[in-house]
Amino acid sequence: MFAQAREAAGLSRLEVDGATVGQVLDLASADLGTHFAAVLESCAVWVNGEPADRDVAVAAADEVAVLPPVSGGAA
């Protein structure tokens, strides 16, 4: 988890057993609470470095990354 998602979760990593990205996110939200779930709504999700939807299958060794929107930049 990165940035706002890490802050909302209170940690940077969480191991969750789920068969799909959606199951992993739902289990993480149940464990980490409503503030994390609210932040998650605006986040992108990647599996092993690739963008992923909720229906993408995951295995035990896969990494599901939660990436909040990025703002700012050079002016």
Of how many residues is the chain composed? Answer: 75
- For residue 72, is it within any domain? no
| In a domain? residue 75 | no
Q: What is the pLDDT of residues 50-65, one digit of tens each?
A: 999 999 999 999 999 9
Predicted confidence at residue 72, as pLDDT, reads 53
Task: Report the number of distinct structural domains present in the chain.
Answer: 1
This prediction has a pTM of 0.81
Q: Which domain holds residue 16?
A: 3-67
Residue 73 domain flag: no
Per-residue CA distances from 18 to 4, 22, 27, 70, 72 (Å): 23, 8, 8, 27, 34
Phi, psi for 50 (deg, rounded to 5): -125, 140
pLDDT tens sequence across 11-26: 677 888 999 999 999 9
**pLDDT-derived band at 45, boundaries 50, 70, 90:** very high
CB count in 10 Å sphere of residue 40: 21
In a domain, 62, yes or no: yes
Name the more confident of 50 and 74: 50
Q: Which CATH number do you get for residue 51?
A: 3.10.20.30
